[in-house]
Amino acid sequence: MKNKVYIFDTTLRDGEQAPGCQLNTVEKIEVAKALEALGVDVVEPGFPISSKGDFDSVVEITKAISKPVISPLARAIKGDIDCAAESLKYAKRKRIHTFISSSDIHIKYVFKSTREEILQRAIDAVKHAKRYVEDVQFSPMDAGRTENEFLAHFVEKVIEAGATVINIPDTTGYCMPWEFGEKIKYLVNNVKNIDKVTIAVHCHNDLGLATANALAGVVNGARQVEGTINGVGERAGNTALEEVIMAIKTNHGLEYDLGINTKKIYPTSRLISRLMKMPVQANKAIVGANAFAHASGIHQDGMLKNKQAFEIMQPKDVGLDETQIVLGARSGRAALKHRLEQIGFEISKEQLDALYPKFLELADNKKEVNDEDLQMLMGREGDIKQKIQIDLVEVVCGYPLKPMASVKLKIDGTEHIASMTGNGPVDASYNCVNQIINDAHLLKKIPVLKEFLIQAVTKGSDDISRVNVQLEHAKKMYYGFGSDTDIVVAAVRAYVDGLNKLV
Ligand code: KIV
Ligand code: ZN
């Protein structure tokens, strides 16, 4: 099928490398299943040599999904490749993805080596991977900044060694779309046997050009696009797959076959945002909260006359329900379950039974329960497993009072309570938590609060707040997240979430 464009998802590898986006094995399996339902062709489930946890997650993912090809990452090092091969023992469809840099700047400064030596390592790595699997993907890292002539020579040699997929990464997000397109065209025209392999593109978004570069790659001959959902990834992230998919789908004469169920895009995006605790910016293309919101009078008027006047795709194409059910105190379990599924939650009957009374409690406090509220309620389910749990947060504050807080925490089941003042209710509550950390000898040193971010999510004063914190402890960073209708409680939740990761 010459016009099939394969979608390679690296949310669980490149995406998960982004600060604060780390997932545990159970969460990774949930994401992998959602990606399978979305219809991606290849899943990069992790970098098995990087840790035992990553290795184990890859193994579990290979047991949980069967349709996509599973392609763990390995440096061009025998031990990495052996480990990747081992992680694939239960996989139905296997590929090993190995890489080494090809740009002069990386060869000289990162590897302190020469072009010849690096090329030999690439060839040896591909041959070694071939001992385990037929399907071997090779990436010349920083290909975006590699001279085209040398890149072509490099690629030809790794094809000769047995690579079946050649991935061209713009690792630093440096290329312009026309340069990147030219690079792919150059390889198509100058590499012997390039027609026997699939060319892939892997673009980073440092200049906001990742989607444009990926598309430029495709129109010049690439047939695999690599990226992540919501564009998550290191620095400015990777190509947002939902953007490439919908760009191909929106009638530009790009007649490529994609095996994607676009109606799963929105739920998958929400699931990943929730699990990674990485909010999607409101004006993000395709999946942002405002992506289909028409605010200006002229636009609204045009929309009422003919939707296509201002809409190039329909919300339902990406799984967004136009007629969103408004949930409230009279909504039943079926409506609650339906909405949860639409925003990416799978929920068993038992979970629904446990959640429903909490939903009604919230609905009594708020007229309308929105998606953010539901995410908060679902997130709260996870609290049960944590080492430190919040039992009580009470504050007295206001003008001209001195803010004062009392916090009760359970640490491994034992209750601890503290009352402190502060320069505001959040400060007073955090002082209580710190006091408890000291009293319970939980840590030798109190973590340093490096960042504190409050977001009021939606419109009204009764809506929920989300708080993200960054804690520094023993030269490492920990990320915490909390949400609640009460801003102080959300702040304490975020702090305790960060502490739970730390302890
Ligand atoms: O950006 C990059 O170069 C990568 C490679 C490992 C493919 O992620
Ligand atoms: Zn990358």
Is residue 171 within 6 Å of ligand 1 at its C-beta? yes
Indicate whether this model's pTM tops 0.85. no
> Is 382 a domain residue?
no
How many whole angstroms separate alpha carbon 241 and alpha carbon 261?
13
Q: Which tokens belong to 325?
A: 């059910």
Range of the domain at 327: 293-377
Residues 174 and 267 in one domain: yes
Residues 96 and 118 in one domain: yes
Q: Which of 377, 397, 414 is the last residue of a domain?
A: 377
C-alpha 103 – ligand 2 centre gap (Å): 15
Q: Which residues surround ligand 2, an ion (CB under 5 A)?
A: 14
Establish how many alpha carbons lie within 13 A of residue 58's alpha carbon, considering only the half-sphere containing its beta carbon: 31
Q: For a ligand 1 pocket test, name from 75, 103, 171, 175 the mutation site with the most ligand atoms within 8 angstroms of its C-beta.
A: 171
Q: Each residue of 414-426: b (16+ CB within 10 Å) or e?
A: eebebebebeebb
Residues 300 and 411 in one domain: no
**Do 209 and 341 fall into the same domain?**
no
Q: 268 and 307: one domain? A: no
CA of 233 to the centre of ligand 1 (A): 11
How far does residue 176's CA lie from ligand 2's centre (Å)? 17
Specify the residue with its C-alpha closest to ligand 1, atom 1. Answer: 171
Annotate 399-452 with three-state secondary structure. Answer: CCCCCEEEEEEEECCEEEEEEEECCCHHHHHHHHHHHHHHHCCCCCCCCEEEEE
Ligand 1 pocket member 99 (CB < 6 A)? yes
| 226 and 319 assigned to the same domain | no
pLDDT (0 to 100) of residue 242: 98
Give the domain-ending residue among 251, 276, 301: 276
Indicate whether 353 and 483 sit together in one domain. no
My answer on whether 350 and 456 are in the same domain is: no
**Residue 169 Cα: closest atom of ligand 1:** 3
Which CATH number do you get for residue 469?
3.30.160.270
Specify whether 362 is located in the same domain as 450. Answer: no
What are the average pLDDT values for consecutive 10-residue runs of the chain, which has 503 residues? 89 94 92 97 98 96 97 98 98 98 98 98 98 98 98 98 98 98 98 98 98 98 98 96 97 91 95 90 91 66 69 89 69 87 83 92 80 76 74 94 95 95 96 96 93 70 77 86 87 94 88
Q: Could you tell me if residue 285 is inside a domain?
A: no
Q: Residue 410 class from Cβ within 10 Å (0-12 exposed, 13-18 middle, 19+ buried)?
A: middle
Helices (H) and strands (E) in the chain, counts: 16, 15
Residues 334 and 436 reside in one and the same domain: no
Determine if ligand 1 sits within 6 Å of the CB of residue 14. yes
Residues 104 and 63 in one domain: yes
Nearest CA to ligand 1 atom 2: 171
User: Residue 136: which residues within 8 A CB-CB, separation 6 or more?
Assistant: 95, 96, 97, 98, 126, 129, 130, 162, 163, 164, 165
Q: Of 282, 226, 286, 216, which Cα lies nearest the Cα of 10?
A: 226
244 and 300 fall within a common domain: no
Those residues with Cβ within 8 angstroms of residue 484's Cβ, 6 or more apart along the chain or in another chain: 376, 464, 465, 490, 493
Atom of ligand 1 at shortest distance to CA of 73? Answer: 6
Helix axes 115-130, 148-161, angle to 10 degrees: 30
In this structure, is residue 126 part of a structural domain? yes
Residue identifier of the C-alpha nearest atom 8 of ligand 1: 14
Mutate to test the pocket of ligand 1, among 44, 80, 99 (most ligand atoms within 8 A of CB): 99
Q: What is the pLDDT of residue 431?
A: 97
pLDDT of residue 466: 77
Looking at 276, 306, 330, the residue that finishes a domain is 276
- Closest listed residue to residue 231, CA positions, set 6, 73, 478, 10: 10
For 236-270, b where at least 16 C-beta lie within 10 A, e where not — what string? Answer: ebbbbbbbbbbbbbeeeeeeeebebebebbbbbbb
Question: pLDDT value at position 493?
Answer: 94
Residue 2 pLDDT = 65
Q: Exposed (0-12), middle (13-18) or buried (19+): which is 173, by Cβ within 10 Å?
A: buried
Question: How many whole angstroms from 3 Cα to the centroid of ligand 1?
Answer: 25
Ligand 1 atom nearest to 238, measured from its CA = 1
Which ligand 1 atom sits nearest the alpha carbon of residue 226? 7
Q: Is residue 174 part of a domain?
A: yes
CATH of the domain at 31: 3.20.20.70
Ligand 1 pocket check: which of 103, 202, 205 to mutate, most ligand atoms within 8 Å of Cβ?
A: 202
User: Does 169 contact ligand 1 (Cβ within 6 A)?
Assistant: yes
Asked if residue 465 has its Cβ within 6 Å of ligand 1, the reply is: no
Q: Which ligand is nearest to the CA of 74?
A: 1
Amino acid at position 481, single letter: F
- 457 part of a folded domain: yes
343 occurs within a structural domain: yes
Q: How far is the CA of 37 from the centre of ligand 1 (A)?
A: 25
Report CA dihedral (42, 45, 48, 50) to the nearest 10 degrees: 120
Cβ neighbour number for residue 325 with a 10 Å cutoff = 12
Task: Say how far apart CA 143 and CA 174 lie, in whole Å.
Answer: 10
Q: Which residues contact 247 (CB under 8 A, 6 or more apart)?
A: 211, 215, 254
Distance 296 CA to ligand 1 centre (A): 41
The distance of Cα 94 from the centroid of its chain, to the nearest Å, equals 23
Which pLDDT score, from 0 to 100, does residue 486 have? 87
* 254 domain residue, yes or no: yes
202 lines ligand 1 (CB under 6 A): yes
Counting the structural domains of the chain, the total is: 3
Residue 281 resides in a domain? no
With the most atoms of ligand 1 within 8 angstroms of its CB, the residue from 14, 73, 228 to mutate is 14
Which ligand 1 atom is the nearest neighbour of the CA of 167? 7
